[in-house]
Structure 1
Amino acid sequence: MPRPTTPLPDDPLARLVGQPAGAIDTPALVVDLDAMQRNLARMAEFCRKHGLRLRPHAKMHKSAALARLQVQAGAVGVCVQKTSEAEAMAAGGITDVYISNEVVAPQKLARVAQLAHRLAAEGGQLSIAVDSAPGITRLAEAMNEARRASGGTAVIDVFLEIDVGQGRCGIAPGAAAVPLAHEVRKHPALRFAGLQAYHGRAQHLRTAEQRREAIAHAADGVVATRRALEAQGIAAGLVTGGGTGSMACETASGVWGELQAGSYLFMDNDYALNERDPAQPQFEHALFVKSQVMSVSPEHAVCDAGHKSHAIDSGLPRVHRIGSTPDLVVTGCSDEHATLRAAAAGGPLPALGDIVWLIPGHCDPTVNLHDHIVGVRGGLEAGTVERTLRVDARGALT
């Protein structure tokens, strides 16, 4: 079940609101609200300028409060990957939610159908991706059962996922979409809405040219699919996809009508390693792990933020240079520790008790390690805690 979105009376971080950033205990996940707000505004302006819908991926921040901020800034809604994430976003007041992933288990599809009816009753909409005929049939059965049980008439929007280069879910581009679109259209509780075309591998290709080539190939697959559908009298509908790393490429193609970029809000270290496409807004790092030096030796120091505080699937975190922080690199991590060394031989190390701010390698799984995010306004060192954000969908894996 989704977690409640209202702050709990015993929220251990509630006391921090109004206090200086220095009062935040370590390790803690902290968002620079000023940087985040600039990222939010730049993305909203980019989409307005290019006439694109924005449906940011809430699996990145897992926070209904942040999802509401994105909607207030112009997003049409959010997308998620899990049924439980969709439930958490809906419980937090988001009425337009897209599960951009396949759901085939009957018990999950029953929840999907119930959520579709609940959102419809609130004037909202639930959408979902499919890539198989059995998946479509099972979805229709669940929707029909929910209709019988509730007396409702909700319709769920269905997007056919095509594999445009990720090599994960999705059917091959082209004619394979036609029988599936026909299958969707057979069921009154399902509405064929368009194509899911997300190229995840392209997000972290390091050069802008590599990303442009990958998305050009993806666009060819989308166009071939759209033509196959239209040849059979089926309107292809909306094409949704794109991410923070490649969004300028999808935009320039003229093929996509909706972007699913999510990491732009926080920007992790892995995205910072990409060569920036000049056609894309400049996003700033906004998410940090506050840590403290707990041990010092002649050759290295150790801070108190290890694997349990930040994910390293996309590499070790980067030390954020701020104020008097020496130039450091993280050279290793364990459960509760990160080892720090001087970036240059013989360089200075931090002192015992010093604060070290880490930029996570991958923001999505890092957020999933924390119950709350502490929001600071006015800078990480001199700023003030303005709010705490509950990670509503933490552990939402089903």
Structure 2
Amino acid sequence: MRTPYERLKKLVGRGVAEIDTPAAVVDLDAMHRNLNRMAEFARKHGIRWRPHAKMHKSSALARLQMQAGACGVCVQKTAEAEVMAAGGVHDIYITNQVIAPVKLARVAALAHRLAAEGGRLSIAVDSGEGVHRLAQAMNQARAAGGVPAVIDVFVEIDVGQGRCGLPPGPRAVALVHEIRRHAPLRFAGLQAYHGGAQHLRAALERREAIAAVVQKVQVARKLIEAEGVPVPLVTGAGTGTLVCEAASGAFGEVQAGSFLFMDADYAANERDPAQPLFEQALFVRTQVISVAATHAVCDAGHKSHSIDSGMPTVLAARQPGGLSFRNGGDEHGILVGPRLPALGEHLWLIPGHCDPTVNLHDHLVAVSGGLAEGRIDRILRVDARGAST
């Protein structure tokens, strides 16, 4: 009996009409244009880019981004970092707090493994206890032998997200000094990410939000440097605001990830004129399985696409009077509009939120030549799917 991956591999080279539904599909042509525009933007602004692999959860796509010029990848979870390393990615930054000793032992083991392979692991911290536990885990891994690794440590400051991070004041300075007291830890700079700003609809709102972020970054940097400690790097930014951080002079690295695929929620943002034109590249292919007088039903419910940022949009229905999608539950989508699709008709949905949508699928069907007449180019494993520890 063939595995799902083996069945999908048999489709490579065939037309898009043979994709079974529901399926997560990547338009490779659009994706590569997004990748090239991001690489050109980074070169033009002289800024490093480290895309978030939590978006696509694919080591193959992470390697592709690094081949295009990315300096490495970000992840949120220890398990994601382990999958990326196993998939050949050797510069990884965990942009999150890791506190549990069992996880820190894995972090330390991975740091030593990457160092032995000429790579590097970085991590964010926001507490003295977190620093102490990290140093202890690194020392224990050193004692076990192998390459004596050093892990790069970023102090996370709260720049408006209201989640993790310290205020940009004396506590952040004290944490920098605590990091520098431990031999296996190296102070690498500041983590300054404002996730909420990414989805402010007006470009001016996003610019104003990031102006406040930059002020906080500058305060933190000045306080740290006043202690005689250089701040090597400030990293942060997302797809919605990267033009602001890149132009600020305060950031040396951007972490935008969603630009590669985009989604319906990002499409609702007013585009900043300075922003590269990123296209929709992730879709869910679905089929109409029932038609009533007032609506049609497709086979892509919210087990096929995330609805935390709203319902998906129907690709062919963006013009006035087109179809709209309503939640039909786990396995069904309700389609309404002046002209209902026919039984058996195939449609393309643009998910509301790309990251959790990808995490619902084991594989991405990658298509070249467009969604209408294209062919299946390859099957991408979502090898970090479910890597949540």
What TM-score range do you get, normalising by the shorter chain? Answer: over 0.9
Q: Is the 8 A contact 2:112 2:149 kept in 1?
A: yes
Structure 2 counterpart of 1:192:
187
Aligned equivalents of 2:318, 2:360: Cα separation in 1: 27
Name the residue aligned to 1:56.
51
C-alpha distance in 1, partners of 2:302/2:67?
Answer: 34
> How far off is 1:323 after superposition?
12
The aligned counterpart of 1:266 is 261
Deviation at 1:184, TM superposition (A): 0.4
Deviation at 1:46, TM superposition (A): 0.2
Aligned pairs for 1:290-301 (under 5 A) are 290-301=285-296
Aligned to 2:370: 379
Tell me if 1:251 matches 2:236. no
RMSD after superposition: 1.6
| Deviation for aligned residue 1:322 | 7.8
Number of paired residues? 388
Q: Helix, strand or coil: the match of 1:150?
A: coil
Give the counterpart letter for 2:10 in structure 1.
R
Task: Give per-residue Cα distances to partners, 1:134-177, cap 9 Å, x unaligned.
Answer: 00000000000000012431000000000000000000012221
SS of aligned partner of 1:275: coil
User: 1:351-382, CA deviations, whole angstroms, 9 ceiling, x for partnerless residues?
Assistant: 00000100000000000000000000001121
Q: Write the letter of the residue equivalent to 1:392.
A: D
Contact 2:63 2:89 in 1 (8 A): yes
Establish whether residue 26 from structure 1 lines up as the match of residue 21 from structure 2: yes
Question: What's the CA shift for 1:251?
Answer: 1.2
Give the Cα separation in 1 of the matches to 2:383 and 2:315.
Answer: 27
CA contact (8 A) 2:197 2:206 kept: yes
Paired position in structure 2 for 1:364: 355
- 2:379 aligned partner: 388
Whole-angstrom CA distance in 1 between matches of 2:89 and 2:234: 22
Distance 2:80 2:365 in 1: 21
Question: 1:31: Cα distance to partner?
Answer: 0.2
Letter in 2 for 1:106: P
Alpha-carbon distance between aligned partners in 2 of 1:233 and 1:392, rounded to the nearest angstrom:
43
Alignment partner of 1:352 out of 332, 338, 343: 343
TM-score, length-scaled by structure 1? 0.95
Give the whole-Å Cα distance in 2 for the aligned partners of 1:178 and 1:94: 32
Which piece of structure 1 moves more, 248-257 or 260-269?
Answer: 248-257
SS of the residue corresponding to residue 321 of structure 1 reads helix
1:9: Cα distance to partner?
Answer: 9.4
| Structure 1 stretches lacking a partner, 5+ long | 1-6
- Counterparts in 2 of 1:322 and 1:12: CA distance versus 1, 3 Å: farther
**Normalised TM-score (structure 2):** 0.98
Contact in 2 for aligned 1:78/1:98 (Cα 8 Å): yes
Match of 1:226 among 221, 224, 247: 221
Structure 2: runs of 5+ lacking an equivalent: none
> Contact 2:367 / 2:377 at 8 angstroms: preserved in 1?
yes
Give 1:379's aligned amino acid: G
In structure 1, what is the equivalent of residue 331 of structure 2?
336
Q: Distance in 2 between matches of 1:27 and 1:192?
A: 46
CA 1:26–1:218 in 2, change beyond 3 Å: closer, same or farther?
same
Matching residue of 1:42? 37
Alpha-carbon separation, structure 2, partners of 1:223 and 1:306: 46
Task: Give the Cα–Cα distance (whole angstroms) in 1 for the partners of residues 208 and 144 of structure 2.
Answer: 49
> Which amino acid counterpart does residue 363 of structure 2 have in structure 1?
H
How far does the alpha carbon of each residue in 1:316-336 deviate from its partner, in whole angstroms, 9 at most, with x for none? Answer: 000001899x82110223100
Relative distance call for 1:362 and 1:72 in structure 2 (3 A) is same
Q: Is the 8 A contact 1:174 1:226 kept in 2?
A: no
Identity fraction in percent: 67
Q: Which runs of 4+ in 1 moved over 2 A?
A: 7-12
1:203 pairs with 2:208: no
* Letter of the structure 1 residue corresponding to residue 124 of structure 2: A
Q: Which residue of 2 aligns with 1:235?
A: 230
C-alpha spacing 1:178/1:323, structure 2 compared with 1 (3 Å): closer
| Counterpart pick for 2:132 among 110, 122, 137 | 137
Letter paired with 1:24: I
- Looking at structure 2, the residues matched to 182 and 309 of structure 1 have their Cα atoms a distance apart, in angstroms, of 47
Q: Could you tell me which amino acid in structure 2 is paired with residue 243 of structure 1? A: G
